[in-house]
Chain A
Amino acid sequence: MDAVLDYAFLAILFPIIGLLLNAFLGDRWRERGVAWVACLASGAALVVSLLVFAALLGRPPEARLVERTLYPWISAGALQVPFALRLDPLSVTMMLVVTGVGTIIHIYAVGYMHGDPRFQRFFVYMNLFLASMLVLVMGNNYLVLFIGWELVGLCSYLLIGFWFEDLSKAAAARKAFVVNRIGDFGFLLGLFLLFVTFGTLEFGPIFEMAEQSATVVLAGLTLPMRDVVTIITLLLFVGAVGKSAQIPLYVWLPDAMAGPTPVSALIHAATMVTAGVYMVTRSAVLYEMAPLSSGLVAWVGALTALLAATIAVGQFDIKRVLAYSTISQLGFMMAAVGLGGYTAGMFHLVTHAFFKALLFLAAGSVIHGLQHGMHASAASQGAEAFPASASPLPPPDPHDPQDMRNMGGLRERQPLTFWTYTIGALALAGLPPLAGFFSKDEILADALERNPAIWLVLTVAAFFTAFYMGRQLWLIFFGRPRTEAAAHAEESGPVMTIPLILLALGSVVAGLINFPGPHPFADFIRHHAAPFNPTVALTSTVLALIALGLAYRIYRDRLRATTDPDPLLQTARGLFVGAYNAWYVDRSYHRVFVQGFYALAAFLARPVEAGVIDGTVNGVARLVRRTAGQLRRLQTGYVRQYALAVMVGVVAIVAWFLLSA
């Protein structure tokens, strides 16, 4: 069985083969061929991951760490970086999540992207993403991790802007890219400092050295190791804040929903955005040495969880609600790992991958159904006219298949989607016995044990989570159809519904992997797990039920027409408008940073560039031209004058030699 571990690199290789085949030969095949290649590549990676998992399980717990060097990648003086894989419980967990959820989403995307003119390109990008994400989680050093980190960022950019004809989607892709660069800047600085401090970038030696030596010599100064590690972990966390969409860099994730829905599910919910959580967990040794950094991680996570949950309440776009929900759940994970609950954080990462991917895919099914309904109803009656509404918010675009105000009553039109969506929503809300209940309660139990203030913030965030999911369920599936399109919506085909069912099953049973009591997952990744706390579990379950009931009371049959104002507008007008506008954070960023940047650029273009720089360059040119104008008079063209000059010169030189000798 151990021989499998030597071939773990195949998990990365299969998606690469898939993408190469599709990129170079895909245009000869029909959609079917491209889909088979991409899904098989992803499935093969899943099989490899499962085999590696089995091989690791077959070893005694303390021997579950295998490193395999593929080749010495960078060898320059002191900088020795091998391209090596690290197979341990943590990386195998991530591999299983990435390939497992990834394969299901690949299959779903075959149905979702059907008929798209760039079908082939989509699957090339998807396979590229899979390979990159596996590089990220399997690398045995920070540089390989960083390469994967950047590659998934690239895939994210390419896939958010997949429908780049729409300028707003291209802009969303650019925004994601730029915001992530800010985080990566910090991450890179962290890498530099790591290398200067430890002389290597490999995880194992770094963690060993950090624990053993008390001081470190940097630039001739002897510094306490704790302080240096604190700075390193803070810098690395800046990268995690960008990638995992935490305060203050979360603004790119809601816009990233411009990408096709399978992308939102795979990259922007289940896998890539959790890379930050993975990185902090991977660096657990360092973060435990730096209480300042881990405290910051915990607080940033907790506040992000709360802020994003409140914003999600005020959104109408079905995918934006889920996007803010993802930010909020990432906040939960960050808070958990910041508090040292690495088991709880990773556990929530796994369960969240299931139910959030499920929610996104089900949302995609709803959008698909509504688009069908729009085609059907457009044929019968043409565009609908809407009366002006008295709401302070802009009315819904009647042709927007993502606006929840255009939905309603889809329960009967799309029963399978409805049931799977409900399972996902309840798992997210944290109702027992679904997966979200176990993982979220483990985070809360950890928080109560270590930092009650964070526990309080997270509990409030969990309450909002249940509330916005309830609101969403009522708006989408219950009541009567508010538009012709919703009335004519159709259930999606089996290519799309079977993945939904698989993920729904996962959302139900994934909680078992760390069932309180035996805590098998905690044993596997060898981190501490908080004991089951009945008080916490009861509190959060009751709160979730109250929130769902509140959503039921507020939203039951209150939105009859698309232009009806949201019921919350009447009870909490200011708060709702604030949440709808995401607390104006994006707008202030635009005002301060984007426009500030434009102002700076204008200043640099006009006075600095045109005045100072151009002035200098033109001045030099003018000087040369004027001097040359004077000098050219010397050249008369009379040969005899030149000869005289030569003569005088020779005489002068000879005279100088004679006189000086």
Chain B
Amino acid sequence: MMVPIPYYIILSAILFTLGAVGFLVRRNAILIFMSVELMLNAANLAFIAFARYFNRLEGQVLVFFVLTVAAAEVAIGLALIVVIFRTKHSIDVDQVSTLSG
């Protein structure tokens, strides 16, 4: 028995909203990162669901791309966080506002 597609979509939407809200309200860089991952995985879930529903492969392939990009992004992002922590002794993103106009 197949789980109907709307369930997946709703779950994906909830996950994405959690991620987006978390990204906007959190100040801790690590948690912001985790929110970003949440949004990416919400998208992945939607991809897989639609791929299965339409019986096509493109969605599944795209998920691999997203996973790869996410991994690269984490690598760079964590490196940045480490550097920021070394100079500011904090990972509060609101502390890093010196590029204001």
Interface residues of A (CB under 8 A from B): 631-640, 643-644, 647
Least CB distance from A640 to B in Å reads 6
Q: Whole-angstrom distance from the CB of A139 to the nearest CB of chain B?
A: 67
B39 to chain A, nearest CB (A): 11
Shortest A326–chain B CB gap in Å is: 74
Contact at B99–A637, with CB atoms within 8 Å? yes
Q: Known contacts A638-B94, A639-B93, A639-B96; is A632 also within 8 Å of B101 by CB?
A: yes
Whole-angstrom distance from the CB of B10 to the nearest CB of chain A?
17
Please name the residue on chain B nearest to A633 by beta carbon: B101
Which of these, A633, A637, A644, contacts B98 with CB under 8 Å? A637
* 3 smallest beta-carbon distances between A and B, as pairs: A637-B97, A637-B100, A632-B101
Interface centre among B96, B99, B101 (most CB of A within 10 A): B101
Interface centre among A631, A637, A647 (most CB of B within 10 A): A637
Which A residues are CB-close (under 8 A) to B20? 647
Name 30 A/B residue pairs within 8 A (Cβ), A-sorted. Answer: A631-B101, A632-B101, A633-B101, A634-B101, A635-B99, A635-B100, A635-B101, A636-B97, A636-B100, A637-B96, A637-B97, A637-B98, A637-B99, A637-B100, A637-B101, A638-B93, A638-B94, A638-B97, A639-B93, A639-B96, A640-B23, A640-B24, A640-B27, A640-B93, A640-B94, A643-B23, A643-B24, A644-B24, A647-B20, A647-B24
Q: How far is the CB of B84 from chain A (nearest CB, A)?
A: 11
How many Å lie between the Cα of A643 and that of B27 in the bound state? 12
Name A635's closest neighbour in chain B (CB-CB). Answer: B101
A196 to B18 CA separation, bound complex (whole angstroms): 78
Query: Nearest chain-B residue to A651 (Cβ)?
Result: B20
Query: Using Cβ atoms and an 8 Å threshold, which residues of chain B touch A639?
Result: 93, 96
Chain B residues with Cβ below 8 Å from A638 are 93-94, 97
Distance between B4 CB and nearest chain A CB, rounded to angstroms: 22
Contact with A along B18-50 (1 / 0, CB 8 A): 001001100100000000000000000000000
Q: Beta-carbon contacts of B60-101 to A below 8 Å, as 1s and 0s?
A: 000000000000000000000000000000000110111111
Distance in angstroms from B83 CB to nearest chain A CB is 15
Residue of A nearest to B97 (CB): A637
Kindly provide the distance from the CB of A645 to the nearest chain B CB, expressed in whole angstroms: 11
Residue of B nearest to A650 (CB): B20
**Distance in Å from the Cβ of A649 to the closest Cβ of chain B?**
13
Q: What distance in Å separates the Cβ of B61 from its nearest Cβ neighbour in chain A?
A: 24
| Other contacts beyond A635-B99, A635-B100: 20, CB < 8 A | A631-B101, A633-B101, A634-B101, A635-B101, A636-B97, A636-B100, A637-B96, A637-B97, A637-B99, A637-B100, A637-B101, A638-B93, A638-B94, A638-B97, A639-B96, A640-B23, A640-B24, A640-B27, A640-B93, A643-B23
Chain A residues near B27 (CB-CB < 8 A): 640
The interface residues of chain B lying within 8 Å CB-to-CB of A637 are 96-101
Separation of A640 and B27 alpha carbons in the complex (Å):
8
CA distance A640 to B24 in the complex (A): 6
Residues in A whose Cβ lies below 8 Å from that of B23: 640, 643
Residues of B within 8 A of A631 (CB): 101
Q: Complex formed: what's the CA distance from A643 to B20 in Å?
A: 9
A304–B96 Cα distance when bound, in Å, is 86
CA distance A116 to B101 in the complex (A): 69
Q: How far is the CB of B38 from chain A (nearest CB, A)?
A: 14
Question: Which residues on the B side are within 8 Å of A644 (C-beta)?
Answer: 24
Bound-complex Cα distance A637 to B98 (A):
6
A643 to B39, CA, bound (A): 13
Inter-chain CA distance A644–B23, complex, in Å, is 9
CA distance A650 to B83 in the complex (A): 31
